[in-house]
Structure 1
Amino acid sequence: MSNDLALSPEDNDQMMTGTPTQAEREANQLRFSTELEFVSALSSPAYLVSLAQRGFLQQPRFVRYLHYLAQHWRTQAYARFVRYPAGLTMLENLLEEEFRGAVGSEGWEEMVRNKMIGHWATWRTASAS
């Protein structure tokens, strides 16, 4: 029998204290960065159209991933890192089947882009009233 599976004293200490290993910290950082980049990319109507054209928005596994992201990234602990809040808005909208079906339809990208520009042009004046 091999002792290859035996834990070192350091590994045992980390397991007992719940302190993540260096490899776990790096994996967590990579996952955080990847998810943040993806949520940010959702702020681009062109990117959403690309996802629709490739069929991702109709795949149940991808939709479950969107639900997972929404569950975490809408919390204050995560949302504070998002630089493009439109990504969170689009993530919310993508949870709705009707919205996912509309993405990529004729004129959708231009319509959404124009609404976003209109919002950016007036959001400060609307909140000042």
Structure 2
Amino acid sequence: MITTKGCGGSRAAVMMVMIFFATGESEDGQRLRFQVELEFVQCLANPNYLLFLAQRGYFKDQAFINYLKYLQYWKEPEYAKFLKYPMCLYFLDLLQFENFRKEIVNGQCCKFIDDQTVLHWQHYSRKRMKLLETGANQQGSQTPVSQSTAATGNPTPTTLPSSLINGHGQIQKV
């Protein structure tokens, strides 16, 4: 029997059930396919992997191009929430264009994209932390929470403790 226990009854779980009945695929088979497709889509965030695929002619194979179109469902929020590297969705979009598929076979193009991606990660993290620190400093210079609560009846939002923010400026799950 198929359950949606771990999925919270989401649309993704309903779709898994529909696929099971439509294709006869077992729950374990669905789970395996989900994991394989998740891993593959996330690999698309690596420009060097795109170069590998391009050099081996995958982007000239119409069946593979159709598979890339099929994978567009990962852009839906109920699937995107499982992605650790959301940049992969940007590359998945770019791979829909023949010009990009032709250019990525060039090693210099791949290196440029890789360099730009690394620079983005470096500067994004630094800028994000600076914004969080600035917000914390501004929050500290405003009226204390107890005074604003007494005046308005509503507490003002507080900043997150730095122990809950990881090195990427993202909130850690507790």
TM-score between the two structures when normalised by the length of structure 2: 0.58
Deviations along 1:77-128, one digit per CA (max 9) or x if unpaired, are 1010010112111111101111111112140121011110121122252794
Structure 2 segments unaligned to the other structure (5+ residues)? 2-16, 132-174
- Written as runs of structure 1 = structure 2, the 5 A alignment for 1:1-129 is 24-70=26-72, 72-124=73-125, 125=127, 128=131
The structure that has the greater radius of gyration is 2
SS of the aligned residue for 1:77 comes to helix
Displaced runs of 4+ in structure 1, greater than 3 A?
18-21
The percent of aligned pairs where both chains have the same amino acid is 33
Structure 1 segments unaligned to the other structure (5+ residues)? 1-9, 11-17
TM-score between the two structures when normalised by the length of structure 1: 0.76
Give the RMSD, CA atoms, in angstroms: 2.6
Deviation of residue 24 (structure 1)? 1.3
Letter in 1 for 2:50: L
How many residues are treated as equivalent by the alignment? Answer: 112
Structure-2 separation of matches of 1:106 and 1:123: 25
Higher RCO (CA-CA < 8 Å; seq separation 6+)? 1
